[in-house]
A and B are shown apart, each in its own frame.
Chain A
Amino acid sequence: MIENTFEFKHWFTENFEQFISNLNGESWESVNSLRREAMVNFSNLRLPTVKDEEWKYTNITPILKETFKPVHAKSTIPKDEIEKFLFDDKENILLVFLNGYYVEELSRLKGVLKGVQIGSLAAAIKGNSPLIAKHLGKYADYKEHIFTALSSAYSRDGAIIFVPAGKIVESPIHILHISDAREEKILNLPRNLYVLGENSQASIIEHFVSTEESTYLTNTVTEIFLDRNAVLNHVKIQEESKKAFHIAHVGVDQERSSNFVSHTFLFGAELSRNDYITRFNDEGGECTLNGLYLIDGKRLCDVHSTIDHAMPHCNSHEHFKGILDDESRGVFNGKVLVRKDAQKTNAFQENNNIILSKSALVNTKPQLEIFADDVKCSHGATIGQLDYDALFYLKTRGIGHEKAKAILIHAFASDVVRSVTIENSKSHIENILIQKFDKNLN
């Protein structure tokens, strides 16, 4: 373990200067100083072990056994290979990233309003966009999170979205992160930045897929800033290869009366760790974090969230559901921090799990830290099996055992899916569920 840890970190520290010099002015000094600072943090931070409270149930040893390396050159794939990842043929805005790099010829930017920026982070860095200096590295903490530090040091590309004050982006923005690893042990570092100005609105889908069932590591960081009254509908669909590793950090800063609605669907990866850290910087904010993890085999899925009620009169709603089969492991840790001045906070959290086998396991932990005295907070966690009475009831109507089970599992998942408001992504998720459960049903 210690050896692996050393090797994993060693490669990145050893090669960092070379990496910076290879950037060749592609990166401005402001970004390079962020990279250097993040690199110092990366070398000083320890890779987490199960002795760390935050990683108690998620052992990252399998990741450290491989030597995953970032890809240095852009590549592309034929257009027809991405068809299967698209929601429908009417999508106006599609950003395609292959192994972390923007692929312009596969992307679509139809009807983007004047002033709205949607595109590649690398291009924005190269063009010395003022957005970068103002926002990059501000909302995802790289001082404590080692994988975020690695992203801040080494990431070169990702999606950047800027919606100026008052603009509404009607078309959902579909961001497709494709891993095309083949035999290579690659490390993908997509780094995303979404900035929504006052009274603006957008819908963004982050969609992680792979061309084949190969082993690779995705370490992605998304930073989101919502200015006053901004509304962001966020959907994340993680369909990585079942042999891949996925580490994700979404950091959100919310200004007055802004609204962040997020739905996460975790289907893939051998091991995935999903951190959500949101902060209310002013009053009146709303934050919804919903999600579903559906895993089988010996796979592990870990969701860690922190909702920071730093200011009064904010509402948060969190509801994650889990479906676990075989020997899979689920981890849910929902931290809600209500600071001393955050009076009139409403914070509701729920985590419900269904275990389909004798050997699957879930560790769920609500973690409410409340320092204000005039708040409404609730939490609940359940772990159960399929309801025997409901199963019997369906069977007495002539529905076979397997189909009855599928109906009940699908029903369990369906309220999370129903609350998704981005229609095309919703039907994509529905189709995934139908394929998983109902393939013999009709």
Chain B
Amino acid sequence: MEKMLEIKNLYVSVEGNEILKGINLSVNTGEVHAIMGPNGSGKSTLAQVLAGREDYEITAGEIFYKGKNLLEMAPEDRAREGIFLAFQYPVEIPGVTNTNLLKTAVNEIRKYNGLESMDALEFLSFLKERMKLVELDQSLLSRAVNEGFSGGEKKKNEIFQMAVLEPKLAVLDETDSGLDIDALRIVANGVNKLRSKDNATIVVTHYQRLLNYIIPDFVHVLYNGKIVTSGGKELALELEEKGYDWVKEHAAELAAG
């Protein structure tokens, strides 16, 4: 077990509003961390900052990833080093097919790591094998990225991309929201199959539901830009039972420990 991610006293502003107010979080290889919290607590901001969103301003704090200063790395280099963000709202890219995106991405990452490009046939059979993980319809391969996809297809497509890119640290931003129970199971299954002792996952979610399928090692509750409490998987159940109002009311005492 090695230290993978270390967030120290992170403050982030978006368009002049302070969203994250001193986040501390440590993630080791092999672990699954869930970050829960009410809407507007800063969950997605944290996810986007990890991926390298440039218009979010880091006003204080540090992030280390595999011992390197993450904040000095361009978004593409973070991805090449193994960070993957499954977007809450996957972006539609007309004119670029799923296959082309993934082929370019895989080869860019391979080039960065000093590996040869995959040839077209090898790549296609790899894609097809990975599609099975998320039970994605094959026709989506030749369609433009996320364009005209249903909500569920978009989320499955994110997990499919993750399966292809084989990240070390996956950040799933509300991947469960908007999914029906069948799609949720498929997505969770995909994530579980990709878990290993060498990688780590951060699951950002509003609901406990997903955590029935992806069992976290740690649960953190984010409220008003801070992690107000952390615990094991039972914390998620407690949260489900008591609701976020409980967090809001007891934020001060929870933070005090």
Contact B104 A441 (CB under 8 A): yes
- Partner among B55, B76, B117 whose Cβ is within 8 Å of the Cβ of A401: B76
Cα A394 to Cα B75 with chains together (Å): 9
Known: A401-B76, A407-B96. A392 touches B54 (CB 8 A): yes
Per-position binary interface string of chain B over residues 143-182, scored 1 when its CB falls under 8 Å from any chain A CB and 0 otherwise? 0100000000000000001000100000000000000000
Contact A398 B112 (CB under 8 A): yes
Contact B93 A398 (CB under 8 A): no
B95 surroundings in chain A (CB, below 8 A): 410-415
Measured CB to CB, the closest approach of chain B to A386, in angstroms, equals 11
Contact B91 A397 (CB under 8 A): no
Asked whether any CB of chain B lies closer than 8 Å to the CB of A408, the reply is: yes
B65 surroundings in chain A (CB, below 8 A): none
Say whether chain A's binding surface is mostly helix, strand, loop, or mixed.
Answer: helix
Known: A389-B91, A400-B108. A395 touches B52 (CB 8 A): yes
Measured CB to CB, the closest approach of chain B to A412, in angstroms, equals 6
Per-position binary interface string of chain B over residues 82-121, scored 1 when its CB falls under 8 Å from any chain A CB and 0 otherwise? 0011010011111110001110111111001000010000
Contact B96 A395 (CB under 8 A): no
Asked whether any CB of chain B lies closer than 8 Å to the CB of A399, the reply is: yes
B55 surroundings in chain A (CB, below 8 A): 388
Cα A399 to Cα B102 with chains together (Å): 10
A412 surroundings in chain B (CB, below 8 A): 95
Contact A394 B84 (CB under 8 A): no
Asked whether any CB of chain B lies closer than 8 Å to the CB of A403, the reply is: yes
- Partner among A389, A396, A410, A413 whose Cβ is within 8 Å of the Cβ of B52: A396
Measured CB to CB, the closest approach of chain B to A100, in angstroms, equals 38
Cα A243 to Cα B221 with chains together (Å): 63
Contact A395 B75 (CB under 8 A): yes
Known: A398-B79, A400-B76. A393 touches B93 (CB 8 A): yes
> Which residues of chain B in 106-140 are interfacial with respect to chain A, using CB atoms and an 8 Å cutoff?
106-109, 112, 117
Asked whether any CB of chain A lies closer than 8 Å to the CB of B68, the reply is: no
| Contact size range, A | 20 to 34
Contact A398 B165 (CB under 8 A): yes
Asked whether any CB of chain B lies closer than 8 Å to the CB of A133, the reply is: no
Measured CB to CB, the closest approach of chain A to B189, in angstroms, equals 22
| Contact size range, B | 35 or more
- Partner among A389, A399, A414, A415 whose Cβ is within 8 Å of the Cβ of B104: A399
Measured CB to CB, the closest approach of chain B to A199, in angstroms, equals 36
Asked whether any CB of chain B lies closer than 8 Å to the CB of A23, the reply is: no
Asked whether any CB of chain A lies closer than 8 Å to the CB of B80, the reply is: yes
Contact A396 B79 (CB under 8 A): yes
A415 surroundings in chain B (CB, below 8 A): 94-95
B91 surroundings in chain A (CB, below 8 A): 387, 389-390, 392-393
A410 surroundings in chain B (CB, below 8 A): 95
A394 surroundings in chain B (CB, below 8 A): 93, 101, 105
Contact A398 B108 (CB under 8 A): yes
Smallest CB-CB separation from A407: which chain B residue? B96
Known: A397-B161, A403-B104, A441-B104. A392 touches B96 (CB 8 A): no
Measured CB to CB, the closest approach of chain A to B105, in angstroms, equals 4
Cα A397 to Cα B92 with chains together (Å): 14
Cα A158 to Cα B131 with chains together (Å): 55
A396 surroundings in chain B (CB, below 8 A): 51-52, 75-76, 78-79, 84-85, 87
Asked whether any CB of chain A lies closer than 8 Å to the CB of B53, the reply is: yes
Asked whether any CB of chain A lies closer than 8 Å to the CB of B74, the reply is: yes
Smallest CB-CB separation from B50: which chain A residue? A396
- Partner among A388, A411, A441, A442 whose Cβ is within 8 Å of the Cβ of B96: A411
Measured CB to CB, the closest approach of chain A to B12, in angstroms, equals 16
Measured CB to CB, the closest approach of chain A to B32, in angstroms, equals 20
- Partner among A397, A407, A413 whose Cβ is within 8 Å of the Cβ of B79: A397
Cα A244 to Cα B48 with chains together (Å): 48
Smallest CB-CB separation from A400: which chain B residue? B76
Cα A418 to Cα B46 with chains together (Å): 40
Cα A411 to Cα B101 with chains together (Å): 11
A442 surroundings in chain B (CB, below 8 A): 107, 117
> Which residues of chain A in 406-438 are interfacial with respect to chain B, using CB atoms and an 8 Å cutoff?
407-408, 410-415
Binding site for A on B (CB under 8 A): 51-55, 74-76, 78-80, 84-85, 87, 90-96, 100-102, 104-109, 112, 117, 144, 161, 165
10 residue pairs bridging A and B, Cβ less than 8 Å apart: A390-B91, A394-B101, A396-B76, A396-B84, A397-B79, A397-B101, A398-B76, A399-B101, A411-B94, A413-B95
Sample of 18 further A-B pairs with CB below 8 A, known A393-B93, A411-B93: A392-B51, A392-B75, A392-B91, A393-B90, A396-B52, A396-B75, A397-B101, A397-B102, A398-B80, A398-B106, A399-B79, A399-B104, A404-B76, A407-B104, A408-B93, A413-B95, A415-B94, A442-B107
